[in-house]
Amino acid sequence: MKKQHEEENKINQIIKIFFDDDDQIELEILQKKNLLKNHLFTKKKKGPPLEYKKPSWAQVNEDDADTMTLKKAKSLLNKLTVEKFDRLSDEFVGMEWNSEKLVAGAIDLIVDKAQRETHFVQIYAELCVKFAAVPLLSLGESNEKGSKQFRRMLLLRCQAEFERDPEILRNEIEQISDPEIKENRIAQIRSAILA
């Protein structure tokens, strides 16, 4: 800093020797303009932001723990195959099933997947057997015989599916105006009923 100040003083002395007073004033104006331009147009180094904020495209919704658990369960069900059954089913059953809402959500996921993917029905049935064998300690079940609560909830879900009113489905189909969407919905209902 001191060297820079000394150099500026030397330059000013040399300028005074070669220029008269009028030229000196013009030169000072030019110097001030150049300093202003340099100040305005040079990029300033920015330090790290005080608080990091992800851009809007990279932000993840902050879902509650139940939603995240069900998302992970759905992910595991999507990866489930005969070869990976032991590892993934152990991971699925070992997840935190700490509320009836979560268990009901897991049952809905399993039943929906079994209805849509009829070629994997046996795998989903084995998964239900494995799930029923593990007691849900966080829901107050004892460690003796497995999960009675899971079996009861699965039975109620299957019974509700079986007793579903066909009139409601007909009304739903009749309200669809697009023939392609209507055909897809009819195919989904047929495969669910046949499964």
Q: Identify which of 163, 74, 80, 162 has the alpha carbon closest to the alpha carbon of residue 119.
A: 80
Q: How many CB atoms lie under 10 A from the CB of residue 191?
A: 13
Residue 177 vs residue 72, higher pLDDT: 72
- Helix, strand, coil percentages for the chain (3-state, nearest 5): 75, 0, 25
In sequence order, what DSSP letters do the residues of 63-100 get, joined into one string?
--HHHHHHHHHHHHHHH--TTTHHHHHHHHHTS---SH
Residue-wise pLDDT tens digits, 136-177: 877 777 666 667 888 889 999 988 887 877 777 788 888 888
What the block records as the tokens of 134 is 């593990």
If pLDDT is split at 50, 70 and 90, which confidence band does 104 have?
Answer: very high
pLDDT of residue 123: 94
pLDDT of residue 176: 83
Tell me how far apart the alpha carbons of residues 105 and 109 are, in angstroms, rounded to a whole number. 6
What the block records as the tokens of 190 is 């047929």
Residue-wise pLDDT tens digits, 12-70: 666 565 555 566 666 677 676 666 556 555 556 666 667 777 777 776 665 678 888 99
Q: Report angle CA 163, 165, 167 to the nearest 5 degrees.
A: 160
Q: Average pLDDT for residues 69-91, to the nearest whole number?
A: 93
pLDDT of residue 7: 65
In 3-state terms, what secondary structure has residue 1? coil
